């Protein structure tokens, strides 16, 4: 049987890959390296990435609440992120199984069978894998088009994802990666003059960081209302990606969590089993 052996939460800033050659091994790279060491030790054979699309794979004429990619392969980035191009395999067997079991649990995924992915999927994989040689299953969550899915629904999706992994007949070591920020405004009215992005609610981000460290998952789900996430920025709904992952994790504390990034509001955490 398949098993969930690791779960990870990280940011996905499209600027990180371009910054690294210039800045060297700064704290961002160190945080990714610490988490990569856990993924390497877990010997993952498939990676489910839970991310939001930034109008690159989907657009307003067809913008799903939840979507899954079922194909043999994909590539990216399909946006303007300054990072290497990657061609990677999709784990079709796992993707198909998650789709079917999700449907059985009442999750009507939108399905795309021909797609590229943007920086939300690829920046974490760029840092956390060696050339994305491990097959990937992308799951997209609507994080910034009203109405957002509820935190409760996203948590339930994570539980359904865990059940799907557990019920896959094939022997497979699976990791889940959630990507995104807790408080983020991009090109919106709460960005300081001269800046492109900002963190409108740093105290909310710190509060979530503390709750994740203490496995206070019920509290996170209860407090992550649409009003609070919009207060945290026009991209504050990226928290929902993490909540899906937390649904798969259950109520266990992370084995590693980096110090909260008080400048950008970013968090890095990892859970491991077996």
- Boundaries of every domain in the chain: 3-272
Are 272 and 255 within 8 A, CB to CB? yes
Are 86 and 126 within 8 A, CB to CB? yes
What does the pLDDT read at residue 263? 87
Nearest-angstrom CA–CA distance, 83 and 165: 31
Closest by CA position to 262, among listed 227, 219, 210: 210
Assigned token pair, 142: 């609507």
3-state DSSP assignment of residue 96: helix
Q: Is domain 3-272 classified as CATH 3.40.830.10?
A: yes
The strand ranges marked E within 118-167 are 136-141
Rounded average pLDDT over 19-23: 59
What does the pLDDT read at residue 20? 59
Relative orientation angle of helices 27-42 and 119-128, to the nearest 10 degrees: 70
Give the Å distances, CA to CA, from 93 to 66, 72, 245. 19, 10, 20
Of 263 and 219, more confident: 219
Query: What's the gap between Cα 239 and its chain centre?
Result: 9
Residue 25 has pLDDT above 60, yes or no: no
Whole-number average pLDDT of the chain: 93
Rounded average pLDDT over 52-60: 94
Residue 200 has pLDDT above 90, yes or no: no
In this prediction, residue 21 has a pLDDT band, given cuts at 50, 70 and 90, of low
Closest by CA position to 130, among listed 202, 223, 40, 209: 40
Enter the pTM of the model. Answer: 0.95
pLDDT in tens, 221-262: 999 999 999 999 999 999 999 999 999 999 999 999 999 999
What does the pLDDT read at residue 182? 97
Which residues neighbour 131 within 8 Å (Cβ) at sequence distance 6 or greater?
86
* Percent share of the chain, pLDDT over 70: 95
Residue 23 has pLDDT above 70, yes or no: no
């Amino acid at each position: 049987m398949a098993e969930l052996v690791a779960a990870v939460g990280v940011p996905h800033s499209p600027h990180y890959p371009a910054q690294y050659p210039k800045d060297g091994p700064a704290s961002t790279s160190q945080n990714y390296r610490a988490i990569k060491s856990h993924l390497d030790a877990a010997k993952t054979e498939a990676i489910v990435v839970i991310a939001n699309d930034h109008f690159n794979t989907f657009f307003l004429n067809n913008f799903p609440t939840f979507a899954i990619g079922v194909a043999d392969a994909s590539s990216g980035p399909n946006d303007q992120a300054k990072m290497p191009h990657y061609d990677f395999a999709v784990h079709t067997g796992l993707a198909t199984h998650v789709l079917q079991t999700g449907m059985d649990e009442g999750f009507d995924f939108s399905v795309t069978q021909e797609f590229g992915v943007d920086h939300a999927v690829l920046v974490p994989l760029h840092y956390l894998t060696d050339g994305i040689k491990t097959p990937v299953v992308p799951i997209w969550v609507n994080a910034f088009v009203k109405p957002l899915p509820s935190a409760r629904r996203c948590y339930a999706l994570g539980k359904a994802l865990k059940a799907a992994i557990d019920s896959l007949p094939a022997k497979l070591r699976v990791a889940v990666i959630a990507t995104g920020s807790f408080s983020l405004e991009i090109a919106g009215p709460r960005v300081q003059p001269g800046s492109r992005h900002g963190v409108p609610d740093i105290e909310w981000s710190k509060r979530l960081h503390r709750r994740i460290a203490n496995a206070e998952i019920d509290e996170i789900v209860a407090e992550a209302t649409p009003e609070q996430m919009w207060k945290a920025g026009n991209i504050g709904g990226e928290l929902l990606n993490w909540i899906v992952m937390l649904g798969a994790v259950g109520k266990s504390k992370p084995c590693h969590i980096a110090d909260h990034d008080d400048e950008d509001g970013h968090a890095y955490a990892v859970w491991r089993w077996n």
